[in-house]
Amino acid sequence: MAKVLEGPGMGLLAKWGMAVPHYVVVTAVDQIERLAHANSWLREKRLVVKAHEAIGSRMKLGLVKVGLDLAGAQKAAAEMFARDIGGIAIGQVIISEEVRHQEEYYLAVKSTRNGAEILMGPGGIDVEAHWDRIGAVAIPVGGEPTGDQLENLAKETGAPLVRIEGFADFALKLYQCYDQEDGSYIEINPLAVRESDGTFVALDAVTLVDADARFRHPDWNFTFASEFGRPYTQAEQAILEIDARIKGSVKFIEIPGGDTALLPAGGGASVYYSDAVLAMGGTIANYAEYSGDPPDWAVEALTEKVCGLKGIKRIIVGGAIANFTNVKKTFAGIIAGFRKARSEGKLDGVAIWVRRGGPFEKEGLAAMKALSAEGFDINVYDRYTPLTDIVDYALRGAPATGGV
């Protein structure tokens, strides 16, 4: 699951026939003046300026300004670019036309175990405080909502009868967008009724899609928002792109300031090693995992990114006992990554600790152990060494006894 920022999220809504305001996304204030020459609405309409980052409660944080003219929008954008929210620097701003309206509604589609659920109700910034007024209808896997279902749900929201058909039509389009764009969750709040013509317009969008489905969508020309509310680094983005096109999986997130890098096999091992390092007083430099028997070249690329982390003193590799991941093959990718990183001047003074079991573990562990003859500071253990011992050895410098 990956988050799509508001601008490209609005683009997906428009693709499926839903009305959205005119909008532009800028990364510098001086872009606004140039865009205004090409887009008359920036000069003629009242404007809304919002921080274009994965930050919740933007209105409450002062990251949404409304009712502005062009000069006011430029000033608001400049102020937002100077803001830092919890360590997240504002790097993008979205400017849209202000849509005059009185009525606001909430509309969303979310994935469930049995299919999907469409939610409707009154909208606004405090919708969570009135969640008992949000109605829902379940759509089974492979199904599609009927007009009657959506109109009945719209009536439950208390919308005027004159709005029911339009509300239901908008909800159907949102479901089609969710279904065809491999959505996990799409929320519109507020869904406004334009005063001038009574049409529904999406004024905001929260969009989550299946990142692994990117290969099915050649028009997805946007990058995903980081889970941590900051832009992905170049290294993180590179691994994301590899992960989107391979069998199996590779994941990588940087955590600045840590001294222990992790290269675990599987999500369970990733969480375990992270918790164990922190419990023993260490600091982690990243989240990473390789799983599902990924190709060795993908594991090599992941290894290079892990080796490139700044300030690391050690790398912990491996995991529990694999069922179908070929240890020899994936270790070949890791070994190639280690060698390349060392040739680039990395890994100086970095100790490597390995623990793994599974298909072809003997051959894979022997290949890892052979790196010691090349000058690597590497300590290799098999399935009979508890994972806790590896973390203890790595952090405390205990004697490296009992290795293969």
pLDDT tens string 281-331: 999 999 999 988 889 999 999 999 999 999 999 999 988 887 777 889 889
Question: Which pLDDT band, with edges at 50, 70 and 90, does 261 fall under?
Answer: very high
Specify the pLDDT at position 56.
76
Specify the pLDDT at position 230.
67
Q: 328 vs 84, which has greater pLDDT?
A: 328
Question: Which pLDDT band, with edges at 50, 70 and 90, does 123 fall under?
Answer: confident
Q: What is the set of domains in the chain, with CATH numbers?
A: 22-97 (3.30.1490.20), 101-216 (3.30.470.20), 234-396 (3.40.50.261)
Specify the pLDDT at position 351.
95
336-360 mean pLDDT: 94
Specify the pLDDT at position 10.
97
CA angle 195, 196, 197 (to 5 degrees): 100
Question: Which pLDDT band, with edges at 50, 70 and 90, does 233 fall under?
Answer: confident
Residue with tokens 């379940």: 138
Q: Which of 116, 112, 109 has the alpha carbon at shortest distance from 12?
A: 109
What SS3 class is residue 345? coil
Question: Which pLDDT band, with edges at 50, 70 and 90, does 130 fall under?
Answer: confident
Specify the pLDDT at position 398.
62
Q: 320 vs 87, which has greater pLDDT?
A: 320
Q: How many CB atoms lie within 10 A of CB 334?
A: 30
Question: Which pLDDT band, with edges at 50, 70 and 90, does 223 fall under?
Answer: confident
pLDDT at 119 over 70: yes
CA gap 404, 376 in Å, rounded: 16
pTM of the model: 0.71
Question: Which pLDDT band, with edges at 50, 70 and 90, does 85 fall under?
Answer: confident
Specify the pLDDT at position 343.
95
CA gap 263, 334 in Å, rounded: 9
Question: Which pLDDT band, with edges at 50, 70 and 90, does 38 fall under?
Answer: very high
Residues near 88 by beta carbon (within 8 Å), at least 6 away in sequence: 53, 55, 229, 230
pLDDT at 87 over 60: yes
* Dihedral of alpha carbons 358, 359, 365, 371, sign: negative
Q: With contact defined as beta carbons under 8 Å apart, do 195 and 102 qualify?
A: yes
pLDDT at 402 over 60: no
CA gap 400, 174 in Å, rounded: 58
Q: How many CB atoms lie within 10 A of CB 94?
A: 21
pLDDT at 401 over 60: no
Average pLDDT, the chain: 91
The one-letter amino acid at 304: E
Specify the pLDDT at position 81.
94
147-157 mean pLDDT: 93
pLDDT tens column, 368-400? 999 999 999 999 999 888 888 899 999 987 655
Specify the pLDDT at position 386.
87
Q: How far is CA 278 from CA 248, 272, 284, 391, 396, in A?
A: 28, 10, 7, 10, 13
190-218 mean pLDDT: 93
Go through the chain and tell me how many residues it has: 404
